[in-house]
Structure 1
Amino acid sequence: MGRYDVVIIGGGIIGAACAAELAGRGRRVALVERGRVASGTSAHCEGNLLVSDKGPGAELELSKLANAAWSSLAGTFRDELGHDFPDIEFEAKGGLVVATTDGGAAALLDFASTQRDAQVSAEPVTHAEARELEPWITERMTAAVWYPGDSQVQPTIANEALVALARARGASILEHHDVVGAIRESGRIVGVRTSAGDVRGAEIVVAAGPWSGEVSATLGVPLPVRPRRGVVLVTAKMPQRVFHKVYDADYVGAVGSGDAGLMTSSVVESTPGGTVLIGSSREQVGFDDAFRANVLGQLAVKAISIFPFLAQTAVIRSYSGFRPFMPDHLPLIGQDVRLPGLWHATGHEGAGIGLSLPTASLIGDLMDGRSTQIDAALFSPTRATLASELGAVA
């Protein structure tokens, strides 16, 4: 096969964003996907672009770059793809986080205070103000915080748009290419062996989401990326009764937890198609995608506690997906010093849709040797919090 400047492994939204970014910078790019692009994690999520669930620190700083990037893309991607391409449904709808216990209220308000110190707009609102934002919300609120910076996209269409942009900018999209090994020369990775032949490149980027651990091990450089399963319920279409992203205060704790057991919290939002999406769950069960009625039951009960009208609403389907979990809860973005030529863009867990664009920009700036918008060392494979996790080169 041909030789490229960059070979990106993974056709989800992170890999697609990196392909579009690097091809736009003039590099010859191959995007390698073992199945079909936009068919994994990015097709089994809600498309959240959140700042409300992140405390002060590296991931929040990356998230603050995301909304501007998505807003810009939403206004310009059809300039390259044509106006017949489907809308990515970017909505700067804002988010409302609510507590229903006294303890939850104190924790929520304290958390919002730390975010305001990090220059995030996190506005406590009264019961009446919350009801103006969401007229159908529970009367049992003990506190609520409004986050105007929360947004949403349709994740599968957004993924497909980035793949299309990469292709329009000259990238090769190689589907049904399962990576089975590394090509090395003089101690450097110079390509990958796939089920459909060798693909060579000066730089290799692992962006395989929850499968990044497996892929990296295949390349001889293990990573502590593990799958974390999540489930979403979808209701029947209805007149709109949910107008923003709404979730209970327990969600923040679930996001930041490393507990392998089942954790659920209520996340509720409408779609432009008239359905309501209900999440969220987190559990580490490997890649086991078996149906579990208890998970769906917990999601339904918690959603009804926030929006009581949902008790009378039909659920038409559910879907699940796997998110790339990292033990220190930070994405892995940058060059792997254990194997020259190898890069990583993975480990975003449930924030990958939102963080895809700034991640791609960070990878591009690092490859170009430019200054970055954010301190790249915070996400580097050499960061101190991973020192005990990364294995040696095989």
Structure 2
Amino acid sequence: MSPDVVVAGAGMIGAACAEALSAAGLEVTVLDRGAIAAGTTAAGEGNVLVSDKAPGPELELARVSRRRWPELLAALREELGPALAEAEWEAKGGLVVATTPDAAASLSRFAAAQRAVGIRADEIAPADAAALEPHLTRKVTAAVHYPEDAQLQPVLAATTLLAAVRARGGEVRAGTEVLGVTRDSAGRVSGVRTDRGTIACRAVVNACGPWAGSFAARVGAPINVLPRRGMILVTGPLPPGTVRRKVYDADYVGAVASGEADLQTSTVVESTRAGTVLIGSSRERVGFDDTVRIDVLRELARKAVALFPVLADVPVMRAYGGFRPYAPDHLPVIGADPRLPGLWHATGHEGAGIGLAAATGRLLADLFTGAVPEVDPEPFRVDRAAVIDGEAAA
């Protein structure tokens, strides 16, 4: 039996779309040219954040996703059993700090704007920040606590979503690359061509992450989604409580919102359930160059030690990098492509894809089935100028 929808990409966004579509009663097949959840998802930190987003469409998508994630994971545990539905969900909150007067003023303005639209952004004194994070530098001049920030293990979460797709009769195939699409006499998508044959379907979802631009160009509907590289350091296991939540310097927000191609680094430190500490973050547009740059790693380490001096003598276990799908206007691309009936996109989330995935999958499924979406889809339209005008991704 042919599926209704083929999802190209078995990372977090593809998995979330496939789960939501299958929950709506559609037959879904998920394809990935590599291993399951092995690309951008495997290189992610698992952040589910509202703290780093200014008021606007992305923050609204983040709020809905933050609310949906624990509900979805609980429902999947009930459906699949705990053995197949473990994602290490931790609603541990986040802490954003400033260490200079200018940064403190900027952080206060940003938090006030978020509170105006209903986000819990609690400004606290430096002494209270030290109580939350005892190993934090005493140079903090201002702090904002975000109790809604959370974290999960991204590979586990993606495989949980895909397990639900399989349990509902869908199929997930690794090592299968989508080469193009077939069309019917009316010009609609009628199937996908792969390196293992053609699969008939009535729609395909482009959830190829940083490779979404090249996929779209291959099927004749180019979009301007580019790879943006980031790197992360991982320490050896530390005693419990060394770092208790996600903590980052206020300059992280500016780096997230920037469109600069050159290297930018900002301080992000957070613990994992395994006891290791993740240290980031960097952003640069270098195409798909995966060269490990020691200067970047040194900069990340230097800034992390400035925020948490206790890390100075902690061994680094490994470092890794990944590519994130970047759209020039910093908004995801979610919805139908009007140039090719049957082609849908779910990409462009850059470093926020893990957190935004639950709402993205639901939004795409609502649009596909004609249900009333909880989130306004207009800002994420495919046919907006930043996505289809100008130089498209090659």
Return the TM-score normalized by structure 1.
0.97
Q: Paired residue for 2:167? A: 168
Identity %: 52
* Amino acid in the other structure paired with 2:116: D
Distance in 2 separating the partners of 1:86 and 1:138: 37
* Amino acid in the other structure paired with 2:318: R
Q: Paired residue for 2:202? A: 202
Length, aligned pairs only: 390
The secondary structure found in structure 2 opposite 1:136 is coil
1:174-228 CA-to-partner distances (Å, cap 9, x unmatched) read 2211111221122212221110111121111100100101111111111111111
Q: Paired residue for 1:243? A: 244
Q: Paired residue for 2:297? A: 296
Is the CA contact 1:180–1:193 (under 8 Å) kept in the aligned structure 2? yes
1:238-317 alignment runs, 5 A limit: 238-240=238-240, 241-317=242-318
1:352-382 CA-to-partner distances (Å, cap 9, x unmatched) read 0111110011011111111110111111112
Distance in 2 separating the partners of 1:269 and 1:308: 14
Q: Paired residue for 1:20? A: 19
Distance in 2 separating the partners of 1:390 and 1:129: 48
1:162 positional shift: 0.8
* Amino acid in the other structure paired with 2:169: G
1:99 positional shift: 0.6
Q: Paired residue for 2:71? A: 72
Distance in 1 separating the partners of 2:182 and 2:386: 29
Range 65-74 or range 218-227, more displaced: 65-74
Structure 1 residue runs of 5 or longer lacking an equivalent are none
Q: Paired residue for 2:221? A: 221
1:383 positional shift: 2.9
1:259 positional shift: 0.5
Q: Paired residue for 1:87? A: 86
Q: Paired residue for 2:8? A: 9
Is the CA contact 1:377–1:383 (under 8 Å) kept in the aligned structure 2? no
State yes or no: 1:380 paired with 2:381: yes
Is the CA contact 2:73–2:85 (under 8 Å) kept in the aligned structure 1? no
Distance in 1 separating the partners of 2:179 and 2:331: 27
Q: Paired residue for 1:144? A: 143
1:169 positional shift: 1.2
Q: Paired residue for 1:120? A: 119
Distance in 2 separating the partners of 1:233 and 1:197: 40
The secondary structure found in structure 1 opposite 2:108 is helix
1:328-354 CA-to-partner distances (Å, cap 9, x unmatched) read 100000000011111100000001011
Cα 1:338–1:29 change in 2 (3 A) is same
1:253 positional shift: 0.4
1:112 positional shift: 0.7
Distance in 1 separating the partners of 2:208 and 2:377: 20
Range 83-92 or range 193-202, more displaced: 83-92
Distance in 2 separating the partners of 1:365 and 1:99: 40
Distance in 1 separating the partners of 2:131 and 2:316: 26
The secondary structure found in structure 1 opposite 2:201 is strand
Range 76-85 or range 337-346, more displaced: 76-85
1:12-51 alignment runs, 5 A limit: 12-51=11-50
Is the CA contact 2:327–2:386 (under 8 Å) kept in the aligned structure 1? no
1:183-194 alignment runs, 5 A limit: 183-185=182-184, 186-194=186-194
Distance in 1 separating the partners of 2:78 and 2:372: 28
Distance in 1 separating the partners of 2:335 and 2:325: 16
Distance in 1 separating the partners of 2:390 and 2:4: 30
Distance in 1 separating the partners of 2:390 and 2:198: 30
Distance in 2 separating the partners of 1:363 and 1:42: 19
1:83 positional shift: 2.4
Q: Paired residue for 1:365? A: 366
Is the CA contact 2:86–2:160 (under 8 Å) kept in the aligned structure 1? no
Is the CA contact 1:33–1:178 (under 8 Å) kept in the aligned structure 2? yes
* Amino acid in the other structure paired with 2:260: D
* Amino acid in the other structure paired with 1:195: D
RMSD between superposed Cα atoms in Å: 1.2
Is the CA contact 1:9–1:205 (under 8 Å) kept in the aligned structure 2? yes
Cα 1:164–1:237 change in 2 (3 A) is same
Distance in 1 separating the partners of 2:70 and 2:180: 38
1:54 positional shift: 0.2
Is the CA contact 1:96–1:244 (under 8 Å) kept in the aligned structure 2? yes
* Amino acid in the other structure paired with 2:197: G
State yes or no: 1:131 paired with 2:130: yes
1:21 positional shift: 1.0
1:384 positional shift: 4.6
Range 67-76 or range 381-390, more displaced: 381-390
1:12 positional shift: 0.3
Distance in 2 separating the partners of 1:387 and 1:40: 25
Is the CA contact 1:190–1:204 (under 8 Å) kept in the aligned structure 2? no
* Amino acid in the other structure paired with 2:183: R
Distance in 2 separating the partners of 1:150 and 1:12: 22
Distance in 2 separating the partners of 1:51 and 1:344: 23
